Amino acid sequence: MALTQHDIDLEIAAEHATYEKRIADGAPVEHHPRRDYAPYRSSLLRHPKQPPVTIDVSKDPELVELASPAFGERDITEIDNDLTRQHNGEPIGERITVSGRLLDRSGRPIRGQLVEIWQANSAGRYAHQREQHDAPLDPNFTGVGRTLTDDEGNYRFTTIQPGPYPWRNHLNAWRPAHIHFSMFGTAFTQRLVTQMYFPSDPLFPYDPIIQSVTDDAARQRLVATYDHSLSVPEFSMGYHWDIVLDGPHATWIEEGR
């Protein structure tokens, strides 16, 4: 029998209660999901059962993982951060501007690094062959962008408000509207892929992917803020979303900035 939303709701609540109990018992805050989060069914066979082996980077400045791949002006075009200008016509939907800063755990800007995004169109359809949701494709919207952060760590995209869409985790499963983000830091250890959500989405409680972040405050950090100062007159709605990369890095030792 197909899993219902109610079945998933119970599992989400149980996972949340288990986390709250761990915190009450003195366990550390968990900023990231656990990889074995059963309400997201695709995780069942794809999470390691063995704990990861910890490497203390402070003991070895020569670690490959303490450096990062470099990206530059050759790796982007001038309009790669404007997803509304990649075709001959105008895409359908509400234009949005999404901007924020890319920071490390010390609050320092990560400069000149690659930010990649991808998303569904305004109808909730990805321009991907395997996507079989029968919402319409938009010939003027692919939903892929990339940019480099500036000297203050700022990034900025112009795009279309993505739509929510159904998926087959369980019966009547719907993903809240989101934009996928991929980031590099100053160390490969800081690599991050995540999803940005929009304020007050009614689908949040039902979605096992956002709920996989069981810490309430951490989950809020995935939600952008409407920012009127980013809205462009007669053009787009503005959203602000700062990104903080986890993972140790060596930059502060090398540059002392």
Partner 1 sequence: MTKIDTSRPESVLPTPSHTVGPFYGYALPFPGGGDIAPVGHPDTITVQGYVYDGEGNPLPDAFVELWGPDPEGNLSTTDGSIRRDPASGGYLGRNGVEFTGWGRIQTDANGHWYARTLRPGARGQNAPYLSACVFARGLLVHLFTRIYLPGDEAALAGDPLLSGLDPARRDTLIAQDDGRGTYRFDIRLQGEGETVFLEFQ
By CB under 8 A, the residues from 189 to 228 that bind partner 1 are 189, 191-195, 209-210, 212-213, 217-225
HSE value, Cβ hemisphere, 13 Å, CA-based, for 233: 0
Q: Which residues are catalytic?
A: 126, 165, 175, 178, 180
Q: How far apart are CA 207 and CA 41, in angstroms?
A: 12
154 binds partner 1 (CB under 8 A): no
The binder of partner 1 chosen from 3, 9, 16, 47 (CB under 8 A): 47
228, 255 contact by CB (below 8 A) = no
198 CB neighbour count, 10 Å cutoff: 22
Site for partner 1 in 225-254 (CB under 8 A): 225, 240-248
Kindly state the smallest distance separating residue 13's Cβ from partner 1, in Å.
18
Q: In DSSP terms, which residues pair with 158 in a beta bridge? A: 82, 97
12 binds partner 1 (CB under 8 A): no
By CB under 8 A, which span of 6-14, 15-23, 95-103, 228-236 interacts with partner 1? 95-103
| Residue among 137 and 234 whose Cβ is closer to partner 1 | 137
| Residue among 9 and 215 whose Cβ is closer to partner 1 | 215
Residue that has been written with the tokens 């490390």 in this structure: 104
80 binds partner 1 (CB under 8 A): yes
157 CB neighbour count, 10 Å cutoff: 23
C-alpha 41: how far from its chain's center? Answer: 19
| Residue among 121 and 236 whose Cβ is closer to partner 1 | 121
- Structure token digits, residue 147: 């940019």
The binder of partner 1 chosen from 50, 88, 200, 229 (CB under 8 A): 50
The binder of partner 1 chosen from 124, 143, 163, 176 (CB under 8 A): 143
Q: What are phi and psi of 19, to 5 degrees?
A: -65, -45
